[in-house]
Structure 1
Amino acid sequence: MIPRTLFLPEHEQFRDSVRRFIQKEIAPYHESWEEQGLVDRELWRKAGRAGLLCPNVPEQYGGHGADYLFNVIITEELANAGATGPGFAVHSDMVATYIATFGTEAQKTHWLPKMASGEAVGALGLTEPGAGSDLKGIRTRATREGDEYVISGQKVYISNGQHCDLVVLACKTDPDAAAKGMSFILVEANRPGFRRGRNLKKIGMHAQDTSELFFENVRVPTSNLLGQEGAAFVMAMSKLAEERLSIAVSAITVAQRAVALAIDYTRQRKAFGKTVSDFQNTQFKLAELHAEIMAKRVLVDRCIELHLSRQLDAVDAAAAKMLCTELQCRAADECLQFFGGYGYMLEYPIARIYIDSRVRRIVGGTSEVMRQIIGRSLFSEHYSR
């Protein structure tokens, strides 16, 4: 594998601490969390004390003021451990980032220290039953009445929904203005009229709570507006590149883990008088996957570099997300095949990788939407050959 040059010694020291935390506080309990459908609430406070939440939030707001590579390390190590339960990425890379970038001083001072410590858990309320990748189609309404917004509507597929103390909620403040009529409003979970729905049953990622959320005439002060009224669509577009990069980071890590598991297993498993790793088909299949992973890892690392210098654009992030999530699914499928019947048993990590992988081609924008973004870019500007 081509050596990676992104990380400095302090990054690797942090990686060691993240691995120790996962081994002690996550790995022994993850199976029970999958059975109960969510992680224990205490995990968030433990993660806060260990510095795993909001590491790149400025120190004045309770974070460590670290660079984005610390977020990358957390994502990679959770993926390496098969720890799909903790919704740290949504909390740190999305909700906290929105508040840190667009929030008022009062909003940042109030929420970011609590999020960094794990006292408060954040969720991002975008998707609705009739609006997924097309955010302009949301119907949740926020009507201004004096110094308050009155919010009514429904969200679905919301990660951290069962634990969240705060939702960065996408609402229509002007239903006649299409994308320019959408605003982000901070909604506390203890507001009258807010209700958590079911913890949804999914194909995979069973330990990560995914919920319906209901808002029935929820009143919040106008000071809860995040950024400016009508600016949510532009704000969301500016942050989608980071979200999709985070997904790509996780996806390429899981793909590499699937290949490593297959290599270890085929070295030990015997068939027809020799190990499965001796068969040419095994070597060719795994060689192809290894080469693809190596190439796409270089792409992801380059996207990380661009993001660190604030040069990553939406098209490049969409390409990385599309390629890596599709590779993750293919690697999971092809590597599981080497395990035979054992690969279908949940006690084997490859089976969990297989069922957890499929959603990656959907969340953060489907592969089809990624192709549309890339395709539009190709035909809207001169394509360099």
Structure 2
Amino acid sequence: MKRLALIIGLLVLTSAAFAQVATPATQLKFMTPGYWVVGNCPDAKSGAGADILADGRIVYFFENEAELVSGNYVTTTIYGTKFMVNAMSIWPAVLTVGKTYKVATERGPDNYGANPTDVTISGKGWDQVDLTLVLGGGISPPAGDAEMGMKIWFGNRLYQPALVEKGDPFIVSANPTIKVDLSVNEPHTLSDNVSDYTIILDPQSTSPKTYQMEASFVTSKTLASATELIRALSLKYTVTEPLTDGLHTFAVSAKTAASGGIQASMTKYATVEVMGGPLRLVGTPLTFPSPYSIPRHGTVTIQYGLSADANIEIYVIGVDGTRIKHFILPAATEGGSAGINKVTWDGTTDQGYKAGNAIYVGTIVARDEGRLLGKFKLTIVN
């Protein structure tokens, strides 16, 4: 400590004369050769009693979160348990006497670090701040900004904004089930606070509605190795109050875990349509590939759109009127969901043999009403 005091004394002699050269007088400009923030960061003990060393950890000096993210910060390395950083290196930011700045360490691979600690610039040439290593403390390196991934599903269909932008409506039921898949790049983690995840209906309207998330809505988590820190998670929420007919926009937001009080956030928007009215097909049903070859293609896809969730039956009928295949498709599953449905078939009939070469007729029926919704043609050429 005597050695540190001696060094500080020498630095003060070389810096103090410049500390008052400022316009206005409370600002220390970049031409000042040095203004030193020094400190101590003691080693710590883990819960299991292992030594958590401060030596070699990176210390950050910065004004606030926004400046840190913008790259206006300066770093130094802890030697033993001591560190010294030239605060004037934060230029082009202005170092202001009487203003409070932050000092913190990176969160290390051991998940220990020192959270941002205040230091107020006195103008005397140096100031001291002491740090404490804690589990989960510290900040993530600004150079490695958090990159969050988000996928939004309505029922079993992935929302695809590019198709909506082209003018293709994304049709959903009046009570859609929304699933959100989230991830974040290392070393960042997702927030474990469920209130950091929100779904807002029609946020730009005069009466937006926020759906409150609960812990029970989390359906899965992926944790960082040997920790409780979340790398990825999935949420599922079913809208209980029916949506009105027409277009609606959902704003889905999520945040990362706080790194020394700093959180990254992401918001994505999904514009969907509730069609209303009687159940009906949207567009013309089709099959592909066409013609279909069982040995060459393996499976055929029957694609059609529904205006709402519904219990659906499909019948595939031969030229002689014989029913060769019957599909029962529950509401809100593939085949019974509002929007595009894709039902696959491997060509095996209900009698257990492969369908032969022929042109077949398919019928799509609303099961609860016993009402024919539409037909399609299926050509098999083996």
Q: TM-score, normalised by structure 2?
A: 0.22
Greater relative contact order (CA < 8 Å, ≥ 6 in sequence): 1
Structure with bigger gyration radius: 2
Q: TM-score, normalised by structure 1?
A: 0.22
| Structure with greater strand percent | 2
